[in-house]
Amino acid sequence: MHTRSGVFLCLRPVTLDPVKLSEFWTAMTTEFGGAYGRVLASDLVLRELGGRTANEALAAGESPRVVWLAICRETDVPVERRHGAGVPPPPRS
């Protein structure tokens, strides 16, 4: 961080995405197992992500949360498990 006139400037991009890449992989491993999770990420074509795999979408800069939710919908992960491992469940309304 640098200051100019007492104002702090952040030189890194700021993301509001609550799911980090490490949390994405933890969720994949927890839900599908390590080996199968990696196979899904490299081989499963996700229609809602333009026909890309999870790995392709992530490499193109897609949000890990968007990719995780696309995988969940494509593989019919129950809604109550879609928050992902290590990610707090959404508040109940």
pLDDT higher than threshold 90 for residue 11: no
| Number of domains into which the chain is organized | 1
Tell whether 11 is covered by a domain: no
Tell whether 48 is covered by a domain: yes
Q: What is the pLDDT of residue 92?
A: 73
Tell whether 90 is covered by a domain: no
Q: What is the pLDDT of residue 91?
A: 73
Q: Which range marks the domain in which residue 58 is found? A: 19-77
Tell whether 92 is covered by a domain: no
Tell whether 86 is covered by a domain: no
Q: What is the pLDDT of residue 31?
A: 95
Q: What is the pLDDT of residue 1?
A: 41
Tell whether 65 is covered by a domain: yes
SS3 2: strand
Query: How much is the average pLDDT of 15-34?
Result: 84
pLDDT higher than threshold 80 for residue 75: yes
Whether the full predicted model's pTM is greater than 0.75, yes or no, is no
Tell whether 25 is covered by a domain: yes
Tell whether 4 is covered by a domain: no
